[in-house]
Amino acid sequence: MLLNHNQSSLSFHSELYSFVPENHLLRRIHELVDFSFINELVKESYCVFYGRPANEPELLFRLLFLQFLYNLLDERVIEDSQYNLAYKWFLGLNPEDTLPDPSQLSRFRVHRLGANQVEKVLEHIVKQCVEKGLLKSNAIIIDSTPTIANAAKEKPLDVLKKASNRLLKGVKKQHSRLYEKLPKFPMKKKRDSFCII
């Protein structure tokens, strides 16, 4: 369910935004770039009458724009936006407001709207920024591919070391004379091993 939200409701802490410089890039982007078309564009993706209240699509697109602008990951843009006053001001939130979960950005980008629509909107926003002289490039790279953690993969060098040690043990067991002729290299561990060239 899509709700109507206004830009920053009254807050006791909104005076903090006076610390964001008037010439800050995000203030200039906010003044010169129109983000209002986003809600109309994605309106059909949401049910008006039922379902959980959804985060404002414009807020999510502004987060995606911050990701593009500052080259941040989902988790990082949410974390930085939580304490960076310029980001919070640009998002239209009060300083004490909470942000969506980082996983929601990915769900919104990939499952809710699809990469094509998100890319079109970002291209439109970036094009506005380039036309108004706020950005110098209009190339967009969005990473929403699943990645395997380094801890889950074995590095090629480790695989080679294990294979060479197994081979060396087999040679030592089966052909002791040949094993004696192999060059010896100093190793940190007490195991016998050699260098593969």
Tens-digit pLDDT profile for residues 130-188: 888 877 764 555 545 444 444 445 667 777 777 777 777 887 888 888 778 877 765 55
Residues 120 and 37 both lie in one domain? yes
Contact in structure between 59 and 122 (CB atoms under 8 Å): no
> Hey, what are 157's tokens?
């060098």
194 occurs within a structural domain: yes
CA 25 to chain centre: 21
Residues 42 and 122 occupy one common structural domain = yes
Are residues 104 and 76 in contact, defined by beta-carbon separation less than 8 angstroms?
Answer: no
Q: How far is CA 163 from each of CA 136, 167, 187, 194, 196, rounded to the nearest angstrom? A: 50, 6, 16, 11, 10
Residue 143 belongs to a domain: no
Question: Is position 142 within any domain?
Answer: no
Domain co-membership, 32 together with 110: yes
Domain around 171:
150-197
Given a contact cutoff of 8 angstroms between Cβ atoms, the answer to whether 68 and 76 are in contact is no
Per DSSP, 54 falls in state: B
What pLDDT, on a 0 to 100 scale, did the predictor assign at position 76?
Answer: 93
Residues 62 and 110 in one domain: yes
First-to-last C-alpha distance (Å) of the chain:
63
- Is 136 within the bounds of a domain? no
Note the pLDDT of residue 12: 57
| pTM of the predicted structure, to 2 decimals | 0.59
169 & 125 share domain: no
Is residue 5 situated within a structural domain? no
Six-digit token pair at 89?
A: 């001001």
Inside any domain, residue 54: yes
Max alpha carbon distance in the chain (Å)? 86
Contact yes or no for 69/76 (Cβ under 8 A): no
Q: Specify whether 99 is located in the same domain as 184.
A: no
Same domain, 114 and 167: no
- The residues of the chain scoring below 70 in pLDDT are 1-15, 17, 46, 50-55, 112, 115, 137-155, 185-197
Between CA 87 and CA 66 the distance in angstroms is 8
182/178 Cα distance (integer angstroms): 7
Does 79 share its domain with 113? yes
Confidence at residue 77, expressed as pLDDT on a 0 to 100 scale? 93
The answer to the question of residue 182 being in a domain is yes
Confidence at residue 5, expressed as pLDDT on a 0 to 100 scale: 46
* Region of residue 164 (left: phi > 0; alpha: psi -120 to 50; beta: else): alpha
User: Are 40 and 114 members of one domain?
Assistant: yes
Shared domain check, 110 and 23: yes
- Please check whether residues 125 and 157 belong to one and the same domain: no
Can you give the pLDDT at residue 80? 93
Question: Residue 150's pLDDT is what?
Answer: 46
Residue 89 and residue 178 share a domain: no
Residue 139 lies in a domain: no
Q: Say how many domains are in the chain.
A: 2
